[in-house]
Structure 1
Amino acid sequence: MLQNLLNKRRLAALSRTAIDAAAVQVFCSATEYKERVLCLIAQARQRIVITALYLQADEAGEQILRALYQAKQQNPALDVRVYVDFHRARRGLIGQSGGRTNADFYRAIAAEYKEQILIYGVPVKKRELFGVLHLKGFVFDDSLFYSGASLNNIYLAEQQRYRADRYLQIDNKQLADAFAAGHQEALGNLDVVQSLLAPEQDIAQAYKTAHRSWLKHARSCRYLLKGQSQPGPLNASLLMGMGRLNNQLNQSILAMLALAEREVLIYTPYFNPPPVLAKALRKCLKRGVKLCIVVGDKTANDFYIPPGQKFNRIGGLPYLYETILRKFVKNNQKFIDAGLLDVRLWRHEDNSYHLKGISVDGVRHLFTGHNLNPRAFALDFENGILVDDELGQLQPQLQHEQQIILANTSTIRHYTQIEMMRDYPEQVKKLLSKIKGVGVDLVLKRLI
């Protein structure tokens, strides 16, 4: 009882603003995502703030980047800022060495334009392995567009395949102002956050001397809603967090689950809950809360390597995630049998799955890039939007989104439906056996 009171107070204490249901739009496809972003770029008159894990050097990434530059050429007063992860921008794709980096791509495109935009690399940790910029979301004037998706061919459905995500637009000046100000506060230290348009030799080591003090500051940053309106039946809060301690986003996730009374819906691409989250989910089930988890099939994982293609070690990750899912389902089979636990695997042709988010009792909805895994809980810099919908005004849109998502899922009724190591390709079996044999899997699970 006392813990529930504390959780209610924690959520009630969040800075929030009333929003109009008519100002909220939920989009349901990568094609709509691309069309909407390009439209919002073209319409922007005062500011554009793009925050993503990466803006890729490919066809779709170039379309977005050139659209930003064209908007700036047409309106030099337009403030255009792009924030991406520093390390990701300065290396090639996983499994590929050498070649042009995203930063090289940015500099090449910038050289073609007179009016320059700002493109920053954020080194959340000194090495990418230990944390990346996982803040998401775009501001276009007074509109906030939020998705866990980055900007490249597959996220924008540029070439046949797509990576499914969630896409939310809220037209609200207070939210847009707070979002832009929060990112300026957290990412505005130019001793650490580097311009990726500078010569490579000038930025490689420049951030390190001031990094520790910046990291301490970034961990304490919050979105501040100024001039808040009186809370109404539909409200939104902006959440930010990094690290295990005093993490507002993590605390809110756990508080939401602790207060669930009837049902919880979870979208996550990589099923690897840290102990604190696994415990929270089990508590939901024990008190009779229905729990639906929609996770990508291993073949819908962005690291999956189809049979016949050259295999490398990163291709073992989808199988490792599947072993974790199988163990979870086996340990909770009695809740599936009782009708309380519903595990759905998403798969659609050769497309991939990247949805994240939590809905509780149809009234609390978290839109986030948080993967609900150990990295998100402890290492990466994360954010999200928590919507309180007391009257269910967004339910028609959210139910439509859910129907589209579930149409490509299959239900796991027994843990034996999930493959185990003996079913895997020989290369995968050897890799996972080696990892488990030396105990590396315990460390790896904390980093994925």
Structure 2
Amino acid sequence: MNRFAFITLLVLLASLAGVQSHAFAEEVRPDIIWILAEDISNELACYGEPGLQTPSIDALAADGARYERAYCTGPACSISRSAMMSGVYQTRIDAHDHRRIGSYTFPAITQYLRDAGYYNAKGCGYSGKTDLNFKPAETLFDGNDWSSAKTGQPIFAQITLDGTHRQDANEKKWRAIRKRSSNPVALEDIRLPPYFPDTEEIRMDWAVYLDQIEHMDTQVGEIIARLKNEGRYENALIIFCGDNGRCHLRGKNWLYEPGLKVPLIIKWPGGKRAGEVVGGMVSMLDVTATVVDVAGAMPSERLDGNSLRAPFTRDLIFGARDAGGEIADHIRSVCDGRWKYIRNYVPSIGYTESKYTRTHRPMRKIMLKMKADGKLSAAQLLVLADTKPTEELYDLERDPHEIRNLASDDAHEQTKHRLAQQLDLWIELTGDTGLLEMKAGGKTR
């Protein structure tokens, strides 16, 4: 092993080592409320997104720490949630295919929290979605609301807000609400990524997405109000995040920034770290490790995350996408903060969407028509290409929208080689079950 590979191995081992939990310093262990909004990237007012208002989430961010670069491990709900609830990369435990239950039985973090004396509640008046691709070793939750906890018992509540989950029924619902609303997001106020054509129909599609976020914000306000009314807010650890990136083209299902990067706000007990903004990279696996750490739980398996109770950011972020629906695509990525390297193992199928996701992206039909009419720019044609490059390399500092692929640029060969080696080491160290499956010929779906 050469010197570079050895140093890289040490960095990866450090990032994968995880942490063992230590009892929270407070005498009274905090309640832990984990709110997951579906299918959103950082389109919130507190992240600088124009055209919408999110006062409840903004207030939570003012009371806590806001993470500008938080990443899920896979760009679809069951993949990401499997990692968050197990505390390890989904590719470690055969949980990498969207909504296919893998062969592993593995403890969920609720098992660790229950052993530490916590009451585990799901939904609490909202969605109780779990959506895991592995078999939990024990029952996940103790009930559907924290009101069933014993007096004085600390609670862990996982609450899903599904109003931002995009599907045909939701689109019809939200377009109808938009027509009746006295204050819909104004089309002229929104900001579109450059890989979307700027037409009224496209702006409307984006505006409906922002309208859904505004409604979700009111639900966050309701949860916060309940916590305050019950005297739980001050001493609670409250986490708000997305389960995966936004359900638009180049987002959900893909390893570009909008598919992996999610909002993350953590309100700490006692007002600690109020107003803090963290610019470095963190993984949602670090959020899992934080929950276990703050609860004073003792995991039986080593976690792939590091607790955020002490300031921590990552040098490398890894992402993985495998089969979803009838599409068996395999993609891996690594990001060092500035540079993103993506490897496509099945480039021949291009940017094929499954039947399931095609119905959730009204913009796609519009863009296909514009493509046929020759009305799309080179950047807008990228996501409709019939094939993908085998390798992609992006300078996120100069090209945050990942439009200019530098993988074949000789000037960046060393950067590409370094990231490719780091990705290979991660794949080896984690025993990537998704790639093992692909090499074995895949499973019948």
Give the structure-1-normalised TM-score: 0.32
Q: Compare the two structures and name the one with the higher strand fraction.
A: 1
Give the structure-2-normalised TM-score: 0.32
